[in-house]
Amino acid sequence: MKGDVQGYANYPEEWKIHYGTQGYHHLDPTLYQSALSIAPVDWSRFNHDDKFNAVFRDAHDFGITDRGLTVPVRGPYGECGLLSVTMDCSDSEWKKLKRHVMGDLQMAAVQAHDTVMQSGVLAKALYLPTLSSREKEILQWVAEGKSQQDIGDILCISHRTVEVHLRSGREKLGALTTAQAIGRAIGLGLIYPG
């Protein structure tokens, strides 16, 4: 990975130092697989090659499990953010947890990315987009878990009209996905968490 790197982690301080001194950012499969994906990356799907074993063997010594997810976020200026979470639990607990938290993690990743980007140099390049009242209303309904058909029924408009407003809102917010648009709108105070 190249460019300006900002990192925030609650890993043990000793692990962060060890990770840096060992140059694991050159080997870590969570970084490389996530840089190639727009979908969350499940660490259990990694090929357990020498690079994986080098990083996770040492991570295990610091109490960090190889059960984790990394959620990549792409910003409007090409920047890439990653949110990684890990938990030491059984296979069945991990599968159940993933099913229940995936959507929330994606929104949290977008919010965290936007917060970091607004606190840095790119903050000057970012602006507060102006969404129409209908775009805000529809994004708010999506944030509350409603489908496009549900929103159309609630607002007495077609689901195609809902999609037009969602597309417009995504474009104004510089988002590739509706989840990113919701995260950005929440981060900017345009809508509120569902």
pLDDT in tens, 62-79: 999 889 999 998 877 677
- Going across the sheet that includes 41-42, the strands are 41-42, 68-74, 80-86
Question: Which two three-digit tokens encode residue 7?
Answer: 């990192």
Distance CA 97, CA 120 (A): 33
Mean pLDDT of 99-122: 81
Length of the chain: 194
Residue type, 157: I
Phi, psi of 83, deg, nearest 5? -115, 120
Q: Number of C-alpha atoms within 13 angstroms, CB side, residue 99?
A: 6
Q: What are 121-167's pLDDT values in tens digits?
A: 555 455 567 899 999 999 999 999 999 999 999 999 999 999 999 99
Question: Which two three-digit tokens encode residue 128?
Answer: 């507060």
User: Is the model's pLDDT at 86 over the cut of 50?
Assistant: yes
Q: Which residue segments constitute the domains of the chain, with CATH numbers given?
A: 13-122 (3.30.450.80), 128-187 (1.10.10.10)
Mean pLDDT of 6-22: 84
DSSP, collapsed to helix, strand or coil, labels residue 93 as helix
Number of other CB atoms surrounding residue 11 within 10 Å? 15
Which residues pair with residue 41 across a beta bridge? 70
Which residues pair with residue 70 across a beta bridge? 41, 84
The percentage of the chain sitting over the pLDDT mark of 70, rounded to a whole number, equals 90
Burial class (CB in 10 A: 0-12, 13-18, 19+), 111: buried
User: Is the model's pLDDT at 16 over the cut of 60?
Assistant: yes
Distance CA 66, CA 94 (A): 11
